[in-house]
Amino acid sequence: MSAALPRRAGQWIVGEEDLANADRILVCFPHAGAGASMYRPWRARMPASTAVLAVQLPGRETRASEPLIDDAREAARAISQAIVTARRGERAWPMAFFGHSLGALVAFETARTLAEEGEPGPHILFAAGRRAPGLALSRPLLHTLDDDDFVAAVRELGGTPPGILEDRRFARFILPMLRSDIAMTDGYVLSPGPDLAARIVTLRADGDILASRAEVEAWADFAPVGQFRCVVFSGDHFFVRHAQQAVIDLVRSEFSPD
């Protein structure tokens, strides 16, 4: 059972200062093992009219001392509350979510939580490198393996950026976080929930063995009729990092007015 989670917006999201000159919001959700800093370069590459907020889960970066969380819905409840607080009553602002891998799942659950609470959700959900919710795992459970087998399995799947597990001292720090994040995926079961009003744009790489074409295109089942698009990039599971500018350009063209 996860510990009780603090609800202040400043803990769960980073970048609220961008709201001062903005009239729309892009909320970014990191992949397993990553923190809000992976989206820091996006802030300089998006229009000033778009506030780039990044989700910061417990146990990493500025929240390194806090207990980890391994339940996507629990995270979504806290994140949705943080978003409502950050908007400061500006309910009409257009909003988009961008999530990579695990981040796409948490973004989806956050959008559903906002809908359940009667709060405006995202106009667009960008889901990158992630099979659609509800599809069965195409791999064995990983989070229960011992450290050696866990590292070997994650490395074989390409589930972490290259080299991140090679440094043993750094690996000891990141392993608990990575294991907790993967437990979110391993233990996730799609539950009944509200339909999303958001248009869904999926992004996948042609060499991503963690998210096949069919698995990514199944996101269409969660979008309003005619409101789904799938964009294919070259690369592996971490194309969002390798093709960062191309990904940002896509988000700008789909969401930003300028």
Specify whether the CB–CB gap between 7 and 78 falls below 8 A.
yes
| 221 Cβ contact partners less than 8 Å away, ≥ 6 residues apart | 132
Q: Cα angle at 241 between 18 and 198, to 5 degrees?
A: 60
The whole-angstrom separation of Cα 137 and Cα 172 is: 26
Question: Which residues are known to be catalytic?
Answer: 101
Residue 195: how many CB atoms within 10 A of its CB?
A: 10
Q: What SS3 string covers 188-214?
A: CCCCCCCCCCCEEEEEEECCCCCCCHH
**Residue 10 phi, psi (nearest 5):** -65, -20
